[in-house]
Amino acid sequence: MKYNNRAVHRDIAYFFLGLIIAFALSGIFLNHRRSWHPQNYTYRTESVTIELPENKDEITKEYLIERSKQWNLESKFRGFRERGDKLQVDFENNRFLVDLKTGKGEREYYMQTPLLGQMTQLHVDTNWAWIWYSDIFGIAMIIIACTGMFIQKGEKGFFRRGWKLASLGIVFPLIFLFLLG
């Protein structure tokens, strides 16, 4: 079997097709995670009242864990923060957003969107085997890009026309990285 740029490009792209699509889709979802995050999809909301101390300094992790026992969430505590006049308390699959003065607010229940949530997890997984596989995928993407540059010959090839488009393709991420980031 004779290997050339076209064959290498094609075969590596075929092998990584599923991962390319999964990374592309999950990357799009992660770009818009402030408006919709497939790992934290709200499927139910209810009104709650939490008894808060008058002194905000008394609101500590320990205090909130003690309060969360009424909801059987104390072992799933993730953290808390003040957001203006509201207190946000995060648990594994729940978020409370309550008014610091009245203690009234909402409890949101979360679940992971099937398949889409798992795909976004691919971007942050720290399993050693996955890290190695992702590194191999990164190298394969570089090979796909490099071999793809030299598939087309002639007037529409890389050295006549392609380098201009490639230069523009490099400039845009640099603009976002250095000027708009």
Q: pLDDT for 68-81, tens place per residue?
A: 888 877 668 889 99
Mean pLDDT, the chain, whole residue set = 83
Residue 3 has pLDDT above 80, yes or no: no
Q: How many whole angstroms separate alpha carbon 122 and alpha carbon 155? A: 40
C-beta separation of 117 from 38 below 8 A? yes
| Amino acid 136: pLDDT | 92
| Amino acid 25: pLDDT | 80
C-beta separation of 162 from 17 below 8 A? no
What three-state secondary structure class fits 50? coil
Domain-wise residue ranges, the chain: 1-38+114-150, 41-111, 155-181
C-beta separation of 160 from 154 below 8 A? yes
pTM: 0.57
Residue 91 has pLDDT above 80, yes or no: yes
Confidence category of residue 98, pLDDT binned at 50, 70, 90: very high
Per the listing, tokens 């709200």 go with 42
Q: What dihedral do alpha carbons 42, 85, 64, 88 form, nearest 10°?
A: 20
Phi-psi region of 72 (alpha: psi -120 to 50; beta: other; left: phi over 0): left
What percent of the chain shows pLDDT beyond 70?
Answer: 91
What percent of the chain shows pLDDT beyond 90?
Answer: 12
The single-letter DSSP state of residue 53 is -
| Amino acid 104: pLDDT | 92
User: In the numeric block, which tokens belong to residue 83?
Assistant: 């957001």
Residue 40 has pLDDT above 70, yes or no: no
Q: How many whole angstroms separate alpha carbon 105 and alpha carbon 56? A: 17
Angle between helix axes 17-31 and 128-149 (nearest 10 degrees) is: 100
Q: Which residues contact 117 (CB under 8 A, 6 or more apart)?
A: 38, 39, 41
Q: Which residues contact 82 (CB under 8 A, 6 or more apart)?
A: 56, 88, 100
Confidence category of residue 33, pLDDT binned at 50, 70, 90: low
> Would you give the distance in Å from CA 87 to the centre of its chain?
24
**Stretch 25-33: mean pLDDT:** 74
| Amino acid 130: pLDDT | 85
Identify the CA nearest to 105 among candidates 91, 131, 86, 124: 86
**Stretch 51-66: mean pLDDT:** 86
